[in-house]
Amino acid sequence: MTEYIGNGRGRIGLDALGIVPRNDVHWNLIVPALYEQATLNGEGKIASGGPLVVNTGVHTGRSPRDKFVVKERSSQDDVDWGAVNQAFTAEQFDALHNLVAAHLADKKLYVEDVFAGADQRYQMHVRVVSEFAWHALFVRNLFVRPSQSDLPDFAPQFTILAAPTFEADPARDGTRSKTFVILDFAKRMILIGGTWYAGEMKKSIFTVLNYVLPLQGVLPMHCSANVGDNGDAALFFGLSGTGKTTLSADSTRGLIGDDEHGWSDNGIFNFEGGCYAKVIKLSQSSEPEIYAASNRFGTVLENVLLNDETRRVNFDDQSLTENTRAAYPLTYIPNSVPTGVGPHPRNIVMLTADAFGVLPPISKLTKEQAAYHFLSGYTAKVAGTEKGVTEPQATFSTCFGAPFLVHKAQVYADLLVRKMAKHNVNCWLVNTGWTGGPYGVGRRMRIAYTRDMVRAALDGALDHVTYHPDGVFGLSMPDFVPGVPDDVLLPRNTWKDPLAYDSKAQELLSRFESNYAHLLKYGVPEVAGGG
């Protein structure tokens, strides 16, 4: 007999999703109860200090090639169809939905009702149904948590059915593999199966917001955000592994959020209520706030190695993946902004992990250059963030978030340019990647230097220094940054062989040009003076 266990069971039941449960359904369990369920089910182990350590199995990152969008009348004209948004038919979705619902009906289920978006004017009500208790804990940590009084009348506007132990049959179901992430904007539902990686749930809702919010004049952004004591908000764009979480978690500034935000006519707001920090080689000395949060009760640690005798975690061990993660509530960061909202930004920092090792560690961009680099989205995919990525790979990810864009890139770029012009925003390009040579020869930029450069940009110290142009990319490089050796600021000077630098810089320049030529074919206009 089915039992409904937990708090605040919503008035809209699982039958509305086609699920007739034959096992226990746990609704909105508190954290200790989710711990009990996860350990009872054998899903994870409790480490010294309290975090729950889990293993995501074969998938230790997202599987973007297995993501599809249902092609239906209400949204098909707005979707940029192609390799990112692969078309799936409504009939295929319905058939797979029935199979997933039948699969979940036999499982012990965990339901979490949460919000996506700290600004109530643009907030989305999200219900997640999964067969893993630790997935429910992850969702509870990463999204905005409703109050207890909100739960009885909670009406989901979008639903995720997560069936990690259900594998698709490509011949029968129309998927590429046994793994699938399928979004249906008309039915307001997401089906996820064949993967235990919890990041798929987080990013699928981000994809939904990338569709919904631009239609309301709001720019969805793959960025972190913080704010100073005088209200000077800053945005940090970048792909996973480029330093968004690390650089925004600055003890001298309030953390609004670490990964996903919206920019409306009222200011900026966090989409989430938690942080999903990359923790490979995490140390207490270099990242004290994230280290402390990662060692607390309530935190989920993905694919971090645990000593079974001492129950201590080893953040340096990458034998499972380099994409080890900690998922914890934003409140675990001492200087977090409780409301999750902030004013219009004064500065934008575009982060790139340059695997070529030729971009300046910091440069100031014109408005045209900001548009160009936003559309280019150059970085290196860091090992483990996607399946099959084992070492840094140079890539161009439009708007620093190509895997999550639904509309054409120009929709997001136009919103950014208009908002930057209206609010007179400064923009900086910061290389957190390699210096002194390319990957395999040079070394990663010291985080202490990057912090000093970013702080100098945000507090206005770089408003009073001289600049000179980089000879290859046309970027304006500061001649002086407090606390940073002058030779570090000039990438060519960090190479043993300057001619080798020139050659590698020209190679990267040609990649920029080829990438932008590709964008021009898809309707992105030329940015005069930006490249």
Angle at 453 between CA 342 and CA 335, to 5 degrees: 35
| Catalytic residue from among 325, 344, 387, 451 | 325
Do 376 and 527 form a contact (C-beta atoms < 8 A)?
no
User: Rounded mean pLDDT of 501-518?
Assistant: 93
Domains of the chain: which residue ranges? 4-42+65-196
Q: Does position 368 have pLDDT exceeding 80, yes or no?
A: yes
Q: What is the mean pLDDT of residues 174-199?
A: 98
Catalytic residue among 203, 381, 451, 504: 203
pLDDT of 389 over the 60 cut: no
Tell me the whole-structure pTM to 2 decimals. 0.92
pLDDT category of residue 523 using cuts at 50, 70 and 90: low
Token pair, residue 418, equals 């208009």
Catalytically annotated residue among 9, 26, 62, 202? 62
Task: Exactly one of 56, 175, 204, 240 is catalytic; name it.
Answer: 240
Question: Quick one: pLDDT band at residue 243, thresholds 50, 70, 90?
Answer: confident
Q: Is the pLDDT of residue 251 over 90?
A: no
Whether residue 385 has pLDDT greater than 60: no
Q: How far is 85 from 206, CA to CA, in rounded Å? A: 14
Task: Convert the pLDDT of each residue in 131-160 to its tens digit.
Answer: 999 999 999 999 999 998 889 889 999 999
- The pLDDT, as a whole number, for residue 1 is 42
Chain Cα centroid distance, residue 103: 29
Instruction: Choose the catalytic residue: 66, 173, 250, 259.
Output: 259
Active-site residue, 312 included: no
What's the CATH superfamily of 4-42+65-196?
Answer: Phosphoenolpyruvate Carboxykinase, domain 1 (3.40.449.10)
Q: Average pLDDT, whole number, for the chain?
A: 93
| pLDDT tens digits along 227-239 | 999 999 999 998 8
pLDDT of residue 186: 97
First to last CA, the chain: 65
pLDDT digit string, tens, across residues 255-280 = 999 999 999 999 999 999 999 999 99
User: Cβ distance 203 to 62 under 8 Å?
Assistant: yes
Active site residue 245: yes
Beta bridge pairs of residue 44? 54
Comparison of pLDDT for 81 and 383, the residue scoring more? 81
244 is catalytic: yes
3-state secondary structure of 340: coil
Q: What is the mean pLDDT of residues 297-308?
A: 96
| pLDDT tens, position by position, 407-442 | 999 999 999 999 999 999 999 999 999 999 998 899
